[in-house]
Amino acid sequence: MKNKDKPDKRKGKIMSSTDITKEEKLNLIASRIRGVKINKYSAELNIIEQNATDAPEATIVASSNKTIDIADAQIAALQAQYDAVNVE
């Protein structure tokens, strides 16, 4: 195993870091963060729409809140990865 290849602790697979440049990695991570933020904003809009009705659908609001919580966790994880790659 090369020094630049690191085992993925979750699945035991090798994640090669030699195939793409640091800039490409940062751009990819930033793009993923943007996608998650778009999904989060969409969930926020779902809540706004539901709250604008006389009878908001509780399941939609609950699902949207869960989506927001998941998005926050994903953004934090991706940001940590971005920071780690940025100091390589």
- Indicate if the pLDDT at residue 7 is higher than 60: no
pLDDT tier for residue 19 given thresholds of 50, 70 and 90: confident
In this predicted structure, what is the pLDDT of residue 17? Answer: 59
pLDDT tens-digit profile of 34-82?
A: 999 999 999 999 999 999 999 999 999 999 999 999 999 999 999 999 9
Number of Cβ atoms within 10 Å of the Cβ of 59: 9
**How would you label 32-55 residue by residue, b for 16+ Cβ within 10 Å and e otherwise?**
bbeebeeebeebeebbeebeeeee
In this predicted structure, what is the pLDDT of residue 28? Answer: 97
**Dist CA 64 CA 42 (whole Å):** 9
Please calculate the CA angle 73-63-35 and round it to the nearest 5 degrees: 45
